[in-house]
Amino acid sequence: MEPLNLHEAFGSIDALWSPRLAARVNDTAVKLARVQGEFLWHHHEAEDELFLVLKGTLRLEFRDRVVTLNEGEMLLVPRGVEHRPVAEEEVWLMLVEPSSTLNTGNVRNERTIDRVEGV
């Protein structure tokens, strides 16, 4: 049981869109990611996904609308809802989701991370 300094943790993440495991709470993963640019359209069949913006502004695009999250704001994306995260400038993001959740959801490509490393 040691505290995690988020500034140091984000400083240790060198790749964009590559989430790192900050903690596990039972079967739930708390992940940190630095993001910038556009991610891909995807959904998660069986998992809800919580986005919490710690630094910057994140745009979550849905097929029928766009939601903008500013620092300190969060949004739960329910399972099955197709979405695409977009960050014009770098965003520090905390994700809370089941440990089994793939970052690319129903899509497998070069951005898919099968095993999330710790910070």
Residue 27 lies in a domain: yes
pLDDT at 104: 82
Phi, psi (degrees; rounded to nearest 5) at 8: -65, -40
pLDDT digits (tens, 9 = 90+) for 14-23: 999 999 999 9
Tally of structural domains, the chain: 1
Phi, psi (degrees; rounded to nearest 5) at 95: -115, 135
pLDDT digits (tens, 9 = 90+) for 37-81: 999 999 999 999 999 999 999 999 999 999 999 999 999 999 999
pLDDT at 113: 86
Residue 116 lies in a domain: no
What DSSP letter does each residue of the chain carry, written as one string? -----HHHHHHT--STT--EEEEEETTEEEEEEEEEEE---B--SS--EEEEEEES-EEEEESS-EEEE-TT-EEEE-TT--EEEEEEEEEEEEEEEETT--TTTT--STT--SSPPB-
pLDDT at 65: 98
Sequence-ordered list of residues with C-beta below 8 angstroms from that of 81, at least 6 positions apart, any chain: 43, 62
Residue 114 lies in a domain: no
Domain harbouring 69, CATH code: 2.60.120.10
pLDDT tops 90 at residue 105: no
Containing domain of residue 30, as a range?
A: 6-98
pLDDT tops 90 at residue 86: yes
pTM: 0.94
